Amino acid sequence: MTPDAALDELAALGDTYKAGEMAAYHKVDCLFFGISNPDVYECVARWREDASVEDRVALAQGLWNSNVHEARIAAAKLLVQARMRPDDAAWALIASWVPTFEGWAVADHACSAGSRRLIADPARLDEVETWTTSDHLWTKRAALVMTLPWTKQKHPKPDEVDARERILGWAAGYVTDPQWFIQKAVSWWLRDLGRRDPDRVWAFLDAHGDSMKPFARKDASRKLPPRS
């Protein structure tokens, strides 16, 4: 499957009216075909069949470069796989997308793909940490969204605890950022962590909650059980 052939297949599924609605909703500088995500996923499932990692990376790169909303979602979905060997090219491609993020919808799909590559090689957190000081909103946000798997470990190993604390340190540095999407990323990370380690989230809120926007502090704590 070539990028041009994949784009033609997506375009054939498009709906002009829906494309206009999507453009008005997302408000980003890209082309919309007007395709539902499930229809995009169905195409990706067929393209992945018998495709090597190298082929999928090449197709993902071509689709991303098209600057078509649904094609970028497809590009990210092509690389959502827990076990991928070798995966250096896939990680490099995903990381190269981060500075081009313009909105949450495509960014979250790409972060879902990236999170698998981080779990596969946590040493890549060193690169992600450089994103935390970026002036680009979506790059800065990606550092937390892409590391959400570290909120989901029920019985983390010592190295996983260390990584979790490292990421919480990034979140602590974000709490004074006034941007809504940054505040929301912090509260999202804390809310997910609170399902497994509520005491740690309470400790974070005790230390940094006063610096957070009220909506973010409330969102982070709304599902927390009482203090133990």
CATH number at residue 183: 1.25.40
pLDDT digits (tens, 9 = 90+) for 132-182: 999 999 999 999 999 999 999 989 999 999 999 999 999 999 999 999 999
**3-class DSSP state for residue 143?**
helix
Count structural domains, the chain. 2
- What's the rounded Cα separation, in Å, for the pair 8 and 193? 42
| Integer CA distances (angstroms), 72 to 5, 107, 168, in order | 15, 9, 29
Which two structure tokens, joined as six digits, stand for 32?
Answer: 């919309």
Alpha helices by DSSP H, listed for the chain, are 3-12, 16-26, 37-48, 53-65, 69-78, 88-97, 104-120, 125-131, 137-145, 158-174, 180-194, 198-208, 214-221
Query: Under a CB-based contact definition with an 8 Å cutoff, are residues 139 and 101 in contact?
Result: yes
Give the Cβ contact number of residue 5 at 10 Å. 12
pLDDT at 83: 85
Residue 137, Cβ neighbours under 10 Å: how many? Answer: 18
220 falls within a domain: yes
Can you give the pLDDT at residue 154?
86
Of 80, 101, 134, which residue sits at a domain end?
134
- The reported pLDDT for the residue numbered 228 is 67
HSE-CB at 72 with a 13 A cutoff on CA atoms is 26
Interatomic CA distance for residues 175 and 67, integer angstroms: 32
57 belongs to a structural domain: yes
Q: Are residues 115 and 176 in the same domain?
A: no
- Would 93 be classed as within a structural domain? yes
The parts of the chain modelled with pLDDT lower than 50 are none
* pTM score: 0.94
Distances (CA, A) of 143 to 23, 62, 82: 26, 24, 19
Range of the domain at 100: 1-134
Residues 194 and 124 both lie in one domain: no
